[in-house]
Chain A
Amino acid sequence: MKLRGLLFGIAASLAATTAFAQAPVKIGMITTLSGPGGYLGQDIRDAFKLAIDMEGGKLGGVPVELMVEDDGLKPGQGKQIAEKMLKTDGIKIMTGIVFSNVAGATVPDIVDSGALYVSPNAAPSNFAGKECNENYFVIAWQNDSLHESAGQYATNLGYKKAFILAPNYQAGKDALTGFKRLFKGDVVGEVYTRLDQTDFAPEMAQIKAANPDVVFQFHPGGLGIAFMRQYQQAGLLGQVPMVLAAPSADSTTLKAVGDAALGANVTSHWNSDFDNPANKKFMEAWTKAYNRVPTYYASQGYDTALAIASALKATGGKADVPALRTALAKADFQSVRGAFKFGKNQHPVQDWYALKVEKGPDGAPILKTVGKVLSNHGDVYAKDCKL
């Protein structure tokens, strides 16, 4: 993975040096490329790279050099890579982290050393409130708000008894907290699973015993695939409907889950069928470059690149952190999800939509947008932020 990052770096710098005299601005990307979560980081990286390629090696008219390293979903490894990028490579703009536990160990080092961190995914609650930082921007969402939208949607759909499950780590706790915040019914069961768990049979039995009228679960990546399939095999599909936030039902998960996902209610801030010019441009370029359905991780990677592009454009390519910060805060870019602005803790304020898993034209399940759940939704931690 190092080699690939290196080669990519060399290729990018060659392309840049032959075409432009100006030294490219280095952007460091620490992301998860190996292991079961690997496809999440791959989509973020590919989308970010796509945005650079679409400008011919530049972002906001400024030549950039993207350095990618794999954290392997290990917080310690993420921290080490960050240190190297900050000290050895002198990078001032960093991005890429997928998982909140890696972010938890890595982001404080980055922002405290005076570099910018622009998150394309993970946004744990502890960085959103009192510990918000002027160098820390989140493009995706605050962890809780993903799941608040699911809670609101479950309430809208009239469910009264929910059984909720998530892995036992920061984002899992944020998920259950978020869901409960806007769900008006009762929570009849609350289970923390393991982040490395593959067999959910005991949880299925507990769900059956509790007899809820809706199940909410947050299991990103491969975990979600196993969960959904075992849900079907346990005979729960069709009996107890599921309301999910986007990470538990991204397009890759759906492909691997197959029919077991049909009928699930999903909430998300973006879907591939969104009808706005920025998204159409993105979808067209993505399909041409990679020929697979992008996950919402890809949309966030792309938006992150656009946000950084807007800041670089404003500073004219100078990697001057205070100037970049001011420009970035304006969120002067066309997000593929439509309306987008930052709240005062530099986390997004955006709309949330309801999606439904349906059979697509080729029989494989797809996500279809069916309505809006929340408008201009920020997060509850913003009020504790002193920025």
Chain B
Amino acid sequence: MTLVLEQLLNGLQFGVMLFLLAAGLTLIFGIMGVINLAHGSLYMVGAYASAFAAAQTGSVWLALLAGLAGAAIAGMVVEIVVLRRLYARNHLDQVLATFALILIFNQGVTILFGRQPLFVSVPPALNGSVQLLPGLTYPVYRLAIIAVGLLVALGLYLLINRTRIGMLVRAGATHREMVRALGVDIRLLYTAVFGLGALLAGLAGLMAGPILAVQVGMGEQILIMTFVVVVIGGVGSIRGAFFGALIVGLVDTSLRAFMPGLLRHVMTGPEADALGAGLASMGIYLLMAIVLLVRPKGLFPAHV
């Protein structure tokens, strides 16, 4: 039972990370209509900026600041320099340009930091594990990630639904031309939204640093999952990104954790393990296919 609970927490934590990435991606696609393959690179920039600041200063807060600022600035520069020219183009051009950005970011990071992965330590205050239930200990750092993710989700909800800028974002997602016609400075809005998306990606990246390896190409590994989340949740919808991310996180983790065990009841050990691993890695894509069959616009579409 504690094993199931622990795996659910793992799924939740993974889902929350995916949400931070998916929120930015879905906003950018929903509002500007741009497919931004380089979103994973912003995640990597956040991780590297934070790792670099942590190594130089040893301060957790400066590392946090550096990660957020680095990703947000990189995002806004990318928007102003590259993406602004692509809004009117078709998706293929956008994919081509943002794919080029991936290569540029990866090579840039390789030149600056080398190919060897960086070491990032867990902040001392969050080191160690706590006992949640008898027999269930869980790393504090992962609990902190869950907390931060849920807080960001709440903050985004308030921002989108209760503020003027949120109103513009919602309007931009559904009636882009109308917002422009009403005299809103759409360029500024675009840059701000892109910056926000990049900031969230950077946050995910810097939080991932102490758990995963900070290395070139870390963004692409998670980007595919993020796209699955966006598709399942419904393109352009923050709410969709939130629930989509949690569903994908939980489903992926549970399949990986329990599929081989279940299969072992009906077949021999090694075969069950290999087949289970295979099925588990297909799981979320199957889920995506099913969602697309039943609700082609995703679970919570923005454009109704």
Contact = CB atoms under 8 A, between A and B. Distances in A.
Q: Is the interface of A mostly helix, strand, loop or mixed?
A: helix
Contact of B213 (A202, A226, A234): A226
Given A201-B13, A202-B256, A192 B274 contact: yes
B260 interface: yes
Interface string B202-221: 00000010111111111011
A252 B277 contact: no
Contacts of A292: 116
Contacts of A202: 7, 10, 253, 256-257
Nearest to B126: A233
Interface stretch (A34-42, A143-151, A240-248, A377-385): A34-42
Interface string A339-375: 0000000000000000000000000000000000000
A235 B277 contact: no
Contacts of A203: 256
A181 interface: no
Given A190-B269, A201-B10, A255-B119, A38 B216 contact: yes
A199 B6 contact: no
Contacts of A49: none
B257 to A, nearest CB: 4
A252 B116 CA distance: 7
Interface stretch (B135-143, B159-167, B291-299): B135-143
B108 interface: no
Interface string B22-47: 00000000000000000000000000
A21 interface: no
A334 B302 CA distance: 67
A222 interface: yes
Contact of A198 (B10, B13, B115, B218): B218
Contacts of A253: 117
A233 B145 CA distance: 13
A305 interface: no
A72 to B, nearest CB: 9
B277 A225 contact: no
Given A198-B213, A230-B211, A205 B257 contact: yes
Interface string A13-46: 0000000000000000000011110110010000
A257 B13 CA distance: 22
B118 A256 contact: yes
Nearest to A190: B273
Contacts of B141: 233
B155 to A, nearest CB: 24
A338 to B, nearest CB: 27
A198 B142 contact: no
Interface in B42-64: none
Nearest to A258: B119
A34 B257 contact: no
A298 to B, nearest CB: 12
B90 interface: no
A225 B13 contact: no
A199 B118 CA distance: 17
A184 interface: no
Given A205-B257, A234-B129, A252-B117, A191 B273 contact: yes
B245 to A, nearest CB: 14
A284 interface: no
Contacts of B213: 36, 198, 222-223, 225-226, 229, 256
Interface in B218-259: 218, 220-222, 253, 256-257
Contacts of A229: 210-213
Contacts of B119: 255-258
Interface in B103-120: 106, 110, 114-119
Given A168-B278, A198-B213, A201-B13, A34 B256 contact: no
Contact of A34 (B7, B10, B216): B216
Contact of B277 (A35, A193, A226): A193
A113 interface: no
A306 B202 CA distance: 45
A205 B121 contact: no
Contact of A206 (B106, B217, B257): B257
Interface string A215-242: 0000000110110011001110000000
Given A192-B277, A199-B14, A206-B257, A39 B211 contact: no
Contacts of B137: 235
B277 A38 contact: no
B217 A205 contact: no
A194 interface: yes
Contact of B106 (A34, A209, A235, A255): A34
Nearest to A223: B213
Nearest to B118: A256
B124 interface: no
A257 B215 CA distance: 13
Interface in B144-158: none
Interface string B60-84: 0000000000000000000000000
Given A202-B10, A222-B117, A191 B277 contact: yes
A205 B139 contact: no
Contacts of B142: 201, 233
Contacts of B273: 190-192
A191 B260 contact: yes
Interface string B119-132: 10110000011000
A205 B3 contact: yes
A38 B139 CA distance: 30
B128 to A, nearest CB: 8
A226 B120 CA distance: 11
13 contacts: A39-B114, A39-B115, A191-B277, A198-B208, A201-B13, A203-B256, A222-B213, A222-B218, A225-B215, A226-B211, A229-B211, A233-B211, A256-B214
Q: Please give me the 7 A-B residue pairs with the lowest Cβ-Cβ distance, nearest first.
A: A192-B277, A201-B10, A225-B213, A222-B213, A35-B217, A202-B257, A39-B115
Given A202-B7, A255-B119, 6 more contacts: A35-B106, A192-B274, A194-B277, A194-B281, A199-B10, A252-B116
